[in-house]
Structure 1
């Protein structure tokens, strides 16, 4: 079933079809654009897609990411949770010192961090309105939604801040999974890739410097890269792929923050199984061949061997690692219990990630590191 037919089918079955008519129309239009883009790309681009290199050094910060070095402020990316309530600033209980922000709260929060040397953030959308989630994640690329609104605001207010955007559907789907589902509840890879690549393109058009697909659907890196090329953006919009993302229990605090827990089942059929080193190596090689500019491993500290593998496989590419919410929360809990010193353990954990081969770290410790470094 095509994406447009899927949209029509869901519209027919929806008892509130009149209310959601504009949403369905928007999704149908998007599907048509997606098909046209894919068709045009197939005749306008030939050769090896991994030959597209300019985005990797089009920005001063990404040029610095090409070098190997010790822990510096430039290598840190700070995760931000952006809600659709403009005035919200709510603490996240399971993530110490972290908040959900509305766009009206972003500038006052970020201004002192930028003065201390913050160079880069990654945005996660957290829609809270009851009507914001549906089976297709149609709100993910809403022009008035939290991520696109935040991109535009941050580009205008902080022109030197490098803006990464996580690209996934789990925060926007009513079922909480990272793509579009078949009727039997399994993931429809083709429909998911089509949808996710459209979301990535929307973020790029809005002004994101980097799009980072975290969904783990097969083929989404190539689909995104082709759409960036077709839109004339591949030379300056970086593609950082969550290539080796393992399933497990370390994402709990993040799911609390983002409201992205699956309503049924789990993500073991599309996130990598713990111990799946061979699968991780294959996924890394796949994403390199499909045009990724940066390879990411997630979680970080528990998969230092995979970070090392990523660096061996992608010797000429930057490798990123995500020090995930569970790792961060455990270090804080240990420090609070007096087991160890927070600063010492944060440094030890992060420097271990760097020694394994990463040159970029997505970390909730970023505000503390801005003071410590």
Structure 2
């Protein structure tokens, strides 16, 4: 059977019908808001490469989280920018460090109304900007995978002690999820969740984030530990290893350039929640185009969020979280 009996336009004839048959849902419960906290800031610091995104003083981050919570978003991913850095990222696991202090304030102010997630890494805390302990031999440098792991465990434990619900190791060190699970269990935190940065590519789309977090490498790059953008099947191996090591939630990062990978991972591991991280470069491109009038930014950001959900992501980490939630509420499905 075909035309004129079959007329697909009939199910597009009105907004009510389009909403009725929409295959993909999107609401505030599917969004996670990243927050940058700067230890020595006295007022919000505008991030030049990410218009509308700020580094928040420790004393102000709870108020910003409350504002976002009022938009219906109750999940936050916390990144810290310390006042002091050293070779071993000692501020990353300092119980009175920037993330630990911010998490305690958030937990006190928000109680159980919010899920607090924390980024577990060393790049913001090291003088060299790499995600682990750097060693040198014969003039060559390398990030020492196995020496880095115990530090990652210490960071995670300090975050959960402060009140974090979910820890997310972003270093892409081999074995890091297993290290966190052992460290957390040994400390008595058997209920703490691990969100693996399971599939994290060495992407050019991280540029604005590195300005935001002051985490650009002082030398070299991260291609020896982050994934090659040319590879997709490798993502399944990385995700499988995280599952075997005890990850509760999987992640693909970035999102829009890797929709095919999101689909692959979701189909391979349908029983595991999958988060897609729509990264800083994705945000900044749409913001720049929107500011210049080159596209309808509101429609574009919702279209992007729906495409990520359609690919298979259960939730999206996005710097547009608050704006997207507001648009979803105001448009009530009418945008499409």
What is the match of residue 169 of structure 1? 122
Q: CA RMSD in A?
A: 1.3
Does structure 2 conserve the Cα–Cα contact (< 8 Å) formed by 1:134 and 1:174?
A: yes
**Which of residues 241, 245, 249 is equivalent to 2:204?**
249
Q: Distance in 2 between matches of 1:280 and 1:88?
A: 40
What is the match of residue 96 of structure 1? 51
Does structure 1 conserve the Cα–Cα contact (< 8 Å) formed by 2:24 and 2:306?
A: no
Q: Distance in 1 between matches of 2:293 and 2:66?
A: 32
What is the match of residue 214 of structure 1? 170
Matches within 5 A, 1:175-190: 175-183=128-136, 184-190=140-146
Does structure 2 conserve the Cα–Cα contact (< 8 Å) formed by 1:86 and 1:105?
A: no
* CA positional deviation for 1:86: 5.3
Aligned: 1:315 with 2:270: yes
Q: TM-score, normalised by structure 1?
A: 0.79
Q: Which runs of 5+ in 1 are unaligned?
A: 1-67
Aligned: 1:105 with 2:60: yes
Q: Distance in 1 between matches of 2:223 and 2:24?
A: 35
Q: Distance in 1 between matches of 2:62 and 2:149?
A: 33
**Which of residues 139, 142, 156 is equivalent to 2:91?**
139
Q: Distance in 2 between matches of 1:329 and 1:70?
A: 25
What is the match of residue 156 of structure 1? 108
What is the match of residue 229 of structure 1? 185
Does structure 1 conserve the Cα–Cα contact (< 8 Å) formed by 2:203 and 2:254?
A: no
Does structure 1 conserve the Cα–Cα contact (< 8 Å) formed by 2:50 and 2:208?
A: yes
Deviations along 1:210-265, one digit per CA (max 9) or x if unpaired, are 00000000000001011112222122x11000010001210010000000000000
Deviations along 1:109-161, one digit per CA (max 9) or x if unpaired, are 2322222212011000111x3xx111111110112211000110000100111
Does structure 1 conserve the Cα–Cα contact (< 8 Å) formed by 2:32 and 2:316?
A: yes
Matches within 5 A, 1:25-44: none
* CA positional deviation for 1:337: 2.1
Q: Distance in 2 between matches of 1:228 and 1:262?
A: 29
- Larger proportion of helix: 1
Does structure 2 conserve the Cα–Cα contact (< 8 Å) formed by 1:86 and 1:104?
A: no
* Aligned residues between the structures: 302
Does structure 2 conserve the Cα–Cα contact (< 8 Å) formed by 1:119 and 1:161?
A: yes
3-state SS of paired residue (1:345): helix
Q: Distance in 2 between matches of 1:110 and 1:173?
A: 27
Q: Distance in 2 between matches of 1:302 and 1:287?
A: 22
Matches within 5 A, 1:278-289: 278-289=233-244
* CA positional deviation for 1:278: 2.1
What is the match of residue 287 of structure 2? 332
3-state SS of paired residue (1:322): strand
Q: Distance in 2 between matches of 1:281 and 1:190?
A: 22
What is the match of residue 295 of structure 1? 250
* CA positional deviation for 1:94: 0.6
3-state SS of paired residue (2:142): coil
Does structure 2 conserve the Cα–Cα contact (< 8 Å) formed by 1:69 and 1:359?
A: no
3-state SS of paired residue (1:108): helix
Q: Which runs of 5+ in 2 are unaligned?
A: 1-22, 329-336
Q: Distance in 2 between matches of 1:353 and 1:343?
A: 16
* CA positional deviation for 1:107: 2.7
Q: Distance in 1 between matches of 2:50 and 2:81?
A: 15
What is the match of residue 25 of structure 2? 70
Q: Distance in 1 between matches of 2:63 and 2:300?
A: 29
3-state SS of paired residue (2:171): coil
Q: Distance in 1 between matches of 2:310 and 2:77?
A: 23
